[in-house]
Structure 1
Amino acid sequence: MSAEATIIDLRSDTVTRPTPPMLAAMLAAPVGDDVYEEDPTVRQLEEALAARFGMEAGLFCPSGTMTNQIAIQAHCPPLSEVVCEATAHVYLWEVGGIAHLARASVALLPGDRGRLTAGQVEAAIRPANNVHYPTTRLVCLENTHNRGGGSCYAWSDLEAIAALAKQQGLALHLDGARIFNALVATGQRSEDYGRLFDSISVCLSKGLGAPVGSVLVGSADFIKGCKRLRKLMGGGWRQAGYLAAAGLYALEHNVARLADDHRRAAQLAEALRPLPYVAEILEPETNLVIFRLDENRLTVADFLARLEAQGIKASGFGGSWVRFVTHLDVDDAMVTRVVAALG
């Protein structure tokens, strides 16, 4: 076995590689020019995801950042404000796209592991008749929440925020980069999400294991407008069906198995809990394990270096925090090996 093959990569679920059956599905895909709307595999993927989430239409894009930022632009005319949690991916890790692309202000709220309440959102809505403020137009939620350690929203909380948004005339967007992890963990139904949200960004290249791509779903009119924004941002695909086929394969084969990733994340958390150099763990709800080191005993740099010396990669997550992410390229034997290395 090569040295590369023995490496256990816990940095992210974006590091997965297509399996031979997925590659075979990609090679067999019928394709066309998607800018001309002539790629049948892209159409199939967009329609499949729209139907799965109770929406009318979908738009296949290269990344979740693009689907999120297209949605925000589409929902927000100039002088708008977006309400989101202070550690939301759309704000923290998308290169200031809300300011640069949508030219919108952002109201940042402190959440419970990234989750907001309807009361918090209501308090953040700007008075409509005060010219000193931008106009609140959009609420963005993230499920699961990355910085919250893969935390999931309760359905009742989503319903309450959606009811408030509708009452106040606000659009509601979901960053669903890991939405399938949330669905598997909570037992919620994807079809119900279309009743609550105006748009949803669904990533295929994380836990589902596709090599690239996200799909934005919403109403037919909304997606029609978003297609122009995708073209503006350089996202006009040509024979993209080869990539869309990977997404279709992932939807069919790689959703239910996310429960294995969640189980393995729980095993890693259990191994970390008694260790003297671990000061705090965010209890994993899905496939992310975020924990804080006691840097009087072991620094993050030292910890990561010691793991890497044993063929294990992980990520520093700011300050004294570290993140492990389980995914389809991490099996039970690898988890056993990581547990031994931690000890």
Structure 2
Amino acid sequence: MILLTSDTETKPTAAMRAAIAAAEVGDEQKHEDPTVLRLTGRVADLLGKEAALFVPSGTMCNVIAVRAHTQHGEVLLAERDSHVLRAEGGGAGMVSGVMTEPLESERGAFAPATLDAALDRIGALPSPYGPRPRLLCLENTHNFGGGTVWPQDRLDAVCETAHARGLKVHLDGARLMNAAVASGLSARRICEKVDTVWLDFTKGLGAPIGAVLAGSREFIAEARRLRQMVGGAMRQAGIAAAACLHALDHHVERLAEDHDNARRFAEGLQAIPGIRLVHGLPETNIVFFDPRAAGWTAADFAKAAASRGVKLVPVAGMIRAVTHLDVSRAQIDEALAAIRAMMGRG
């Protein structure tokens, strides 16, 4: 099966498994795991922040960050299709008791004027009637926007607007290194104006578990307390952190291969009558396409593709395909051949 549903399909490489087996470990909850300490120090430096915390998942990073930045009844603003609003089971509302204000955008990246308009609509001035806007969450790359990379000047301007209007800015960096490789900018530069950010290791970087949340020392101290509250405190977590360190050493630059493969896949789809690329050619490793003009529902298309050895996922009437280190150029061509055969052109 050619696994194109998500870059979370990656399996640890043999070299990563060796790094896991050789990891030096200690009690992470007591700050005594040397491999975790190496990882958090390295990621803090990579992202240009004072401190960092290792947690099991990126979703937990968002849950902790929203709780640390807000109080019950305040407002979280985020793009309408962002992961924190659409794909975390309502965790922000359940754990933090926040209201949410969805922002309209083009493929996940919006302008400062969009944020200003939303704040004006909520009523940003002190009032006993309106909820208080407190936090802006951004996502780079933007998953449901098709792996969109935020233009850096726009990202900077949105952060400046948010800060000027009294908001903190949190960046969902599930695929941050994809954004860095695609843009040619360092992760530190991309994150320069955000207050907090996290980096996921279980997607294109290929680790089996783990994400790192970064920010000020004060923020990370509070995040550590909140991690305990939501059940994320760990013991000999160095076995997982070792995989993440290996990923930083060996799996960052190769993300460009995933981007090239996604573009090859998209160009091949574009040549098949009846298939429409939803977001055009991809910037990174995510392709959304619509087969309905050819008479397929997304669910039926995915089922038929699976019967031919290509695993895809239907999302909101569309099909999502994600390239990663376990999908080769040859497999991309095989997947296209299978889809052409489905469409009667193979």
Give the structure-1-normalised TM-score. 0.96
Q: Secondary structure of the equivalent of 2:163?
A: helix
Contact 1:54–1:193 (Cα < 8 Å) also in 2: no
Match of 1:226 among 223, 226, 231: 223
* Equivalent residue number for residue 18 of structure 2: 24
Displacement of 1:194: 4.3
Residue type of the partner of 1:198? D
* Equivalent residue number for residue 318 of structure 1: 316
Structure 1 CA distance for aligned equivalents of residues 156 and 4 of structure 2: 34
Structure 2 CA distance for aligned equivalents of residues 311 and 118 of structure 1: 44
Match of 2:112 among 106, 118, 125: 118
Aligned residue-pair number: 336
Give per-residue Cα distances to partners, 1:104-131, cap 9 Å, x unaligned. 1111111111112111111222322222
Structure 2 CA distance for aligned equivalents of residues 181 and 33 of structure 1: 32
Residues 293, 254 of structure 1: CA spacing in aligned structure 2 closer, same or farther, 3 A cutoff? same
Do residues 278 (structure 1) and 275 (structure 2) align? yes
Match of 1:140 among 117, 137, 140: 137
* Equivalent residue number for residue 343 of structure 2: none
* Equivalent residue number for residue 73 of structure 1: 67
Displacement of 1:337: 0.5
Displacement of 1:169: 2.1
* Equivalent residue number for residue 3 of structure 1: none
Give per-residue Cα distances to partners, 1:59-99, cap 9 Å, x unaligned. 11110100011001000012210110010100111110111
Structure 2 CA distance for aligned equivalents of residues 148 and 75 of structure 1: 25
Residue type of the partner of 2:57? S
* Equivalent residue number for residue 49 of structure 1: 43
* Equivalent residue number for residue 290 of structure 2: 292
Do residues 304 (structure 1) and 298 (structure 2) align? no
Q: Secondary structure of the equivalent of 1:162?
A: helix
In the TM superposition, 1:98-109 aligns within 5 A as 98-109=92-103
Q: Secondary structure of the equivalent of 2:172?
A: strand
Residue type of the partner of 1:28? A
Identity %: 42
Residues 292, 34 of structure 1: CA spacing in aligned structure 2 closer, same or farther, 3 A cutoff? same
Do residues 257 (structure 1) and 254 (structure 2) align? yes
Structure 2 CA distance for aligned equivalents of residues 182 and 195 of structure 1: 14
Displacement of 1:278: 0.9
Contact 2:107–2:142 (Cα < 8 Å) also in 1: yes
Displacement of 1:225: 0.5
Give per-residue Cα distances to partners, 1:220-272, cap 9 Å, x unaligned. 11000100000000000000000000000001100000000000000011011
Cα-Cα RMSD:
1.1
Q: Secondary structure of the equivalent of 1:282?
A: coil
Gaps of 5+ in 2: 341-346
* Equivalent residue number for residue 341 of structure 1: 338
Give per-residue Cα distances to partners, 1:10-38, cap 9 Å, x unaligned. 00000110001001011111100111110
Residue type of the partner of 1:71? A
In the TM superposition, 1:238-249 aligns within 5 A as 238-249=235-246
Contact 1:83–1:138 (Cα < 8 Å) also in 2: yes
Do residues 176 (structure 1) and 173 (structure 2) align? yes
Residue type of the partner of 2:272? L
Structure 2 CA distance for aligned equivalents of residues 331 and 94 of structure 1: 30
Match of 2:125 among 112, 125, 128: 128
Structure 2 CA distance for aligned equivalents of residues 292 and 147 of structure 1: 14
Residue type of the partner of 1:158? L
* Equivalent residue number for residue 80 of structure 2: 86
Residue range with higher mean Cα deviation, 255-264 or 160-169: 160-169
Structure 2 CA distance for aligned equivalents of residues 186 and 193 of structure 1: 9
Gaps of 5+ in 1: 1-6
Structure 2 CA distance for aligned equivalents of residues 312 and 130 of structure 1: 55
Structure 1 CA distance for aligned equivalents of residues 71 and 148 of structure 2: 31
